[in-house]
Amino acid sequence: MPAGMPPRPDPGKQPLPQALTKMAAPMLAERVQAMAAVKTEADAKARQAHVRETMLQLMGGLPGGTDQPAGPLNARVVGTVDQPGFRVEKILYDSLPGYHVTATLYLPTTGTGPYPAVIYSAGHGPFGKTEAYGTGANLAHNGIAVLAYDPLGAGERLQAMDPVTGRSYAGADEHSLANIPISLIGDSVSRYMLWDAMRGIDYLQTRPEIAKDRIGSYGCSGGGTMSAYITALDTRVKAGMVACFTTTYDALLNSIGPQDGEQVLFNFVKNGLDFPDFLEVTAPRAFAEVATTEDMFPFVGAKAAHDEAARFYGLLGAEDKLGFFTGPGGHGAIQPEQVQIFKFLMHNLAGNDAEPKLERYGFRAPIDLRDTTTGQVTTSMPGRTIYQINQERAAKLMPKAVAVTSKAQLTALQDRLKREISQVTGMLPPAATPPAVTVKSSEDVDGIHVERITFASRTGIELPGVLVRGNGTTARLIFTADALDPAPAMLLKASQGQTVLLLNSLPWPPSVDELKPLFGTTLPMTSRAFLIGKTFVGMRADDVLAAVQYLSTLGATSVAAEADGTAAVALLHAAVLEPRIASLRLTGMLSSYKSVLEARPNRLVTEAVVPGVLLHYDLDDLVLAMGERPVTLVDPVDGSDRRLTQGEFESEFARPIAAAKSLHEKDAIRFVRSPQS
């Protein structure tokens, strides 16, 4: 950090993360009680079955079933690199039909096979499988084969390629970018990343040189995440090594928070799960946890995870199968622990307790280990991207949209959405009392009395607002993520005696997380919410309903509401639930969740994401459910943040437009394209 620059605020100390951590606390406390009740071997096995089933359910199950067949591996060796004591084979195999995985196999050429093997998951970085060169070479020298594969979005497997630049739209965040459209149908990108590794194990078991019953897993950082998944959920793994990932959510939520798409399963904490469950599901198979004292994944949590898991392993008589290797250093600085790591793998996979022979290998240039002619599967061979695979699965899972041609059908849709919106978005039950509103200051602007207020969000945060009190029964609610002007004169004059409430939406204060071109700043915050079954849409909709409830205490029986950007998505959800919202003006709103599935790439939709939403409804359903209440869409955008044309708007909202004309005999759905757009 340059001299004189203020330190970056701790993400865990921001008001909204603190509020979300407070919501998570009773869930984590309930898990502590559940684990205290695990006292016998039978209890432990029952807990394992429950956790394994829950994890798989939360990620959407695994591919390979009848709805998404795995297809043949189509594995082939496309090149070799001979080295003293081992051979590197360049491998291609299919995880799913047309979905290609690039890999390298480090095969010992000394000793007697069949050899134990390790599936190596690379971390989040551009090099992918190439990072394994030193580890793969050394393990091969010590009699253990290694299959290192390129994870989604790394090495030769970039999925979101810009055809103009030949580079990834998302850089090192491809896995998190892909998770957004995948999450809309209730899945997690982790199901595909785990499947890639499991198919790698399938391949190892086809090789006569490999001992099929002696396979392990290795990974650090993002690779540690996948190694934890593989070790926990694939019982073919006899020994797993997981570095710089495990901690506890009590520790992580009070610090940097969750980081990556595949690391965050919606409702994970709400369902009573935590990091130690990865270790405990594995028992009595071998699990090595590697942690550095200055890691961003808090070391105190890593130790707590180990201590809890040690008791669990003891219930299964496997205390000696749990390793915990620690040392000083930051994230990924595990070189000092290499001897312990190698000893652990050699002992548990090969029954070899000799001192490992380690050599220092320089970095191997990616081109030396390239499997494809261009360096990318998407440009060198026909196939499918993760986005296409998700689109195909979505088409099978999403309910078919049907025209609403009668008022009975409209009522049925409205009743269904009123039941489902709160559940899907994680909203709270309706509040019994209006929110607390505190006047902080007041002033007269152009003869109109204006009050600066704070509004008690249902998250527990005080949101800033501006209030103009009127005398009539109509009010205006303006819900925005932008900083509030003291009292725009034009707005106040336009109020014409109405009560007007301008309210900032969550998060407040704005996030201090890193600004990313495709995600904005709030991805870590939304991830925190997802863990406990919350969404920005639901939390913001809760605040909209509370605002209408407050306006009713000022005499308003009808509210004209407006919002912009992703806050507009929340307002639309709330309006379906609240009949006192008489009209909507939605500026720059996402036109549909389906457009996020189709976007190349999706942009700035993070705060609008509702996991599983497309299994229930899309945004045109919500507009349709507004009935004859007017909805004006100003500059709506698709999932890539591109403004719609008039024709695209009419196509996107054809069902609500047709219903408004046939059922209400009016143009209730209006499109406005602003001059600057």
State the pLDDT confidence band at 672, using cuts at 50, 70 and 90: very high
What's the CA gap between 110 and 325, in Å, rounded? 29
The 10s digit of each residue's pLDDT in 45-76 is: 999 999 999 999 999 999 988 888 899 999 99
Query: Contact, 216 vs 194, CB < 8 A?
Result: no
As to burial, measured by CB atoms within 10 angstroms (0-12 exposed, 13-18 middle, 19+ buried), residue 363 is exposed
Reported in sequence order, the residue ranges of 407-458 that DSSP labels E, i.e. its strands, are: 437-445, 448-456
Cα→Cα distances 594→55, 232, 315, Å: 26, 33, 48
Domain boundaries defined on the chain: 34-393, 405-672
Residue with tokens 């096995």: 45
- Encode 1-37: b = buried (16+ Cβ within 10 Å), e = exposed: eeeeeeeeeebbebbbbbbbbebbeebbeebeeebee
pLDDT at 407: 95
| β-strand pairing of 499-504 with 474-480 | parallel
**Do the domains 405-672 and 34-393 match in fold?**
yes
Q: How far apart are the first and last CA of the chain?
A: 38
Correct CATH for 405-672 of 3.40.190.10, 3.40.50.1820, 1.10.150.80, 3.60.10.10: 3.40.50.1820
247-284 tens-digit pLDDT: 999 999 999 999 899 999 999 999 999 999 999 999 99
Residue keyed to tokens 């069949």: 114
- Summarize pLDDT for 373-383 with one digit per residue, the tens: 999 999 999 99
Specify burial of residue 293 (Cβ count, 10 A radius: 0-12, 13-18, 19+).
middle
- What is the per-residue pLDDT across 378-427, written as a single tens digit (0 to 9) for each? 999 999 999 999 999 999 999 999 999 999 999 999 999 999 999 999 99
pTM of the model: 0.95
The span from the CA of 241 to the CA of 555, in Å, is 63
In angstroms, the CA 183 to CA 197 distance is: 20
Domain covering 34-393 in this structure, CATH number = 3.40.50.1820
Q: Is the torsion defined by CA of 111, 112, 118, 119 positive or negative?
A: positive
What percentage of residues in the chain have a pLDDT greater than 70?
96
pLDDT confidence of residue 666: 81
To which residue do tokens 């000092």 refer? 336
At 1, is the pLDDT very low, low, confident or very high (cuts 50, 70, 90)? very low
Given a contact cutoff of 8 angstroms between Cβ atoms, the answer to whether 116 and 143 are in contact is yes
Residue 143 CA neighbour count, 13 Å, CB half: 20
The rounded distance, in Å, linking the Cα atoms of 569 and 46 is: 42
